[in-house]
Amino acid sequence: MMAALRRYLMAGLLVWVPLGVTLLIVAFLVDLMDQTLRLLPESLQPENLLGFRVPGLGAVLTAVIVFVTGMIVTNLFGMQLFNIGERILQRIPLVRSIYASVKQVTESMFSSGKSFRKVVLVEYPRKGMWSLAFQTGTGAEEVRDKTGRDVTNVFIPTTPNPTSGFFLMVPREDVVELDMSVDDGLKMLLSVGVVVPEPKKDKATDPRVRRLS
């Protein structure tokens, strides 16, 4: 009976803990965005205009501001203004370091889906020990000429922070391609191996022996 109770308790926790944490984070973000409305003059704040508080209105306002900002910086004039603002920030010692770090992490997070082409396996850090990696491109022609090997560029992220890691140029025949998507690979890394994607059974080739083509 105790084993059954523990099993039911664990099953219930597995349902409610992720859901509860997700709801708390969403509620926190919505409340945080609602605080942006306090930047408006008191006479223009929605609570004073409507006579009651509208939850989530700050999130809508934030989304509109982000969208409009994106429209502005995607044209030539807006991009020039953005570059001028960045140059000003780079002249401020403390702000420069913080802004550069946050920008690098943000660009890595949002561009990973485009820069990562395939999920692969490489024997790292030693033979017989496999690491999950992402193919980022083909090897440079100079590297191929100097080494006499056809290499491919791979990035081995660290966990649970996939924005840092190791860049390796691995011989193509030593890279094993996986069928899992880039999103599934990132989920597996972020969960430190707890979340394992379901295998694709419609592939005729065994992914354990399929080398990178």
Q: What is the pLDDT of residue 119?
A: 93
Q: What is the pLDDT of residue 204?
A: 45
- Across the range 156-177, mean pLDDT stands at 86
pTM summary value: 0.48
Q: What is the pLDDT of residue 87?
A: 87
* pLDDT tens, position by position, 94-144: 878 877 777 766 665 565 555 678 899 999 998 889 999 999 888 788 988
Q: What is the pLDDT of residue 176?
A: 94
Averaged confidence pLDDT in the chain = 79
Q: Of 40-44, 68-72, 129-133, 188-192, where does the model show the most confidence?
A: 129-133
Asked if the model's pLDDT at residue 6 lies above 70, the reply is yes
Q: What is the pLDDT of residue 25?
A: 75
Q: What is the pLDDT of residue 67?
A: 83
* pLDDT tens, position by position, 32-53: 777 777 777 777 777 777 777 7
Q: What percent of the chain has pLDDT over 90?
A: 15
- Across the range 83-88, mean pLDDT stands at 86
* pLDDT tens, position by position, 137-163: 887 889 888 999 999 999 998 887 676
Which DSSP string corresponds to the chain?
A: -HHHHHHHHHHHHHHHHHHHHHHHHHHHHHHHHHGGGGGS-GGGSHHHHHSS--TTHHHHHHHHHHHHHHHHHTSHHHHHHHHHHHHHHTTSHHHHHHHHHHHHHHHHHHHHHHH--EEEEEE-SSTT-EEEEEEEEEPPHHHHHHHSS-EEEEEEE-SS-TTSEEEEEEEGGG-EE-SS-HHHHHHHHHTTTSS-PPP-TT-SS-TTT-B--
Q: What is the pLDDT of residue 151?
A: 92
